Amino acid sequence: MEWTAMEINPEMMNKLGVGESWRFVDVLGLEGDQLSAVPKPCCALMLLFPLTPQHESFRVQQADKVSEGSEVYFLKQTVVNSCGTIALLHAVANNKSELSFDNDSALKKFLDDTANMSPDDRAKHLEKNQPEADKVNFHFIAFVNVDGQLYELDGKMNGVVKHGVTKEDSFITDAAEVCRGFMERERGEVRFSAVALCRR
């Protein structure tokens, strides 16, 4: 099964029912002044990057760092091109207590319906949606702060990757540091984009 790939478009993401007090914003860069322009507090960062042989090799090395059964809401990716939707769900689900959802929010309904499911069962529930497919070679992941820990959530992995301690005021800087590692592994590659979920 394949879906149409999701754009990294904050305007579109803001129409998905996360309420009035939070919004997705473009992250224009992962260093210095560009990063300081991201509104705070920020509770999630989504990174879009090209899938390359270097990335796939890194993921194999990272497999032993995956955590299962944590307090983190995690959803497996079983549908091609669903990584944007899954990264969005990871960003929102792990900050649900901070958000005020619109009454008719499809995101809230999905999260409520899947709250007590395993990552595999959540994936099966998501598979019930069947948009048309496009061929893409990019991938979305999300970073969140759960209980003072920085987590990386990639639906193609078997669980979450814990990157250590973070705080509300340092989250975006800590997440950006991990993202820069993705960029450094891809020397010469410039096709990276990021959005952050921030309070209005």
The answer to whether the beta carbons of residues 30 and 176 sit under 8 Å apart is yes
Catalytic residue among 43, 83, 179, 198: 83
Residue 141, pLDDT above cutoff 90: yes
- 11-199 in CATH: which number? 3.40.532.10
Q: Is 83 a catalytic residue?
A: yes
Closest CA to 97 of 79, 133, 73, 75: 73
Question: At which residue do the structure tokens 């090209």 appear?
Answer: 50
Distance CA 153, CA 95 (A): 13
pLDDT category of residue 102 using cuts at 50, 70 and 90:
confident
Q: Which of 43, 90, 139, 198 is catalytic?
A: 139
Percent of the chain with pLDDT over 70: 94
The pLDDT value given to residue 186: 86
Q: Rounded to two decimals, what is the model's pTM?
A: 0.84
Q: State residue 130's pLDDT score.
A: 61
Query: Average pLDDT for residues 114-133, to the nearest whole number?
Result: 84
Position with higher pLDDT, 104 vs 48: 48
Dist CA 191 CA 128 (whole Å): 31
When the pLDDT of each residue in the chain is averaged and rounded to a whole number, the result is 89
Coil, helix or strand at residue 189 = coil
Percent of the chain scoring above 90 in pLDDT: 56
| DSSP H or E segment with residue 178 | helix 171-185
Sequence spans of domains, the chain: 11-199
For residue 34, the one-letter residue type is Q
| Cβ–Cβ under 8 Å, residues 22 and 198 | yes
CA terminus-to-terminus distance, the chain: 37
pLDDT score for 114: 94
One-letter identity of residue 39: P
Alpha carbon separation from 129 to 62, 74, 191 (Å, rounded): 30, 18, 28
Highest-confidence segment of 8-17, 67-76, 174-183 = 174-183
3-state secondary structure of 39: coil
Residue 63: its pLDDT value, please?
80
**pLDDT, average across residues 74-80:** 91
The predicted structure's pLDDT at residue 134: 60
Helices (H), 27-170: 32-36, 53-62, 83-93, 106-114, 119-126
Of 61-70, 98-107, 154-163, 186-195, minimum mean pLDDT range: 61-70
